[in-house]
Copies of this chain bind each other. A is one copy, B any other.
């Protein structure tokens, strides 16, 4: 949380997305990297102002643009600044998964609640997987000749693999709760080991 990444994200989007307004930057973030990054308007607009002041981006003439739209373009200095930041190793993510947290304390509330959370998670993960498949198709269609192709593909692939894993996990977790209610801890341990074995055989 130390160094503010928002500015660099904006810079990066302008570097690969061309001339964009704050609103469009936000849309880009949601569509292209939304499954692993989010930004709110409350930060994008002040950041655009700051970046313009630092000469890392410059506002284009509003002549062509419709409505009040203000578009920005990255400057060579901005590109250099972006490159510097991108070259530094990424900081470890500070993960905070509230679903896992509430499940971890599941014994306090019981299997009913936990099962409900997991079923909802299954739905969310399925939707996410579908969205990622669609995103992949768009990349393959639109970025065939782009320098960015490899990187766009590898990031969606990351999401696909992770969400597939989560989906599989959520289903086995529901089964584990069922097992516990029917056969107690012994059944849980039996099922747990069995699932692990079939997993490693499948690979």
- Please name 15 pairs of A and B residues whose Cβ atoms are closer than 8 Å in the assembled complex, sorted by A: A35-B95, A36-B97, A93-B99, A103-B155, A104-B151, A104-B152, A105-B151, A111-B150, A149-B189, A154-B176, A157-B172, A157-B195, A157-B196, A162-B166, A165-B165
Q: How far, in Å, is A95 (CB) from chain B's closest CB? A: 5
Q: Is the interface of A mostly helix, strand, loop or mixed?
A: helix
Stretch at the interface among A18-26, A55-63, A80-88: A80-88
| Residues of chain A from 148 to 176 with CB closer than 8 A to chain B in the complex | 148-155, 157-158, 161-162, 164-166, 168-169, 172-173, 176
Listed in ascending order, the chain A residues whose CB lies under 8 Å from chain B are 5, 9, 12, 15-16, 32-33, 35-38, 79, 82-83, 86-87, 89-109, 111, 113-114, 116-117, 120, 124, 140, 144-155, 157-158, 161-162, 164-166, 168-169, 172-173, 176-177, 179-180, 185, 188-189, 192, 195-196, 199, 202-203
- State the oligomeric state as a number of copies: 2
Q: How far, in Å, is A151 (CB) from chain B's closest CB? A: 4
Q: How far, in Å, is A142 (CB) from chain B's closest CB? A: 12
Whether B104 pairs with A79 at a CB distance below 8 angstroms is no
Closest to A9 in B: B101
For A173, give its contact among B97, B154, B162 (CB under 8 Å): B154
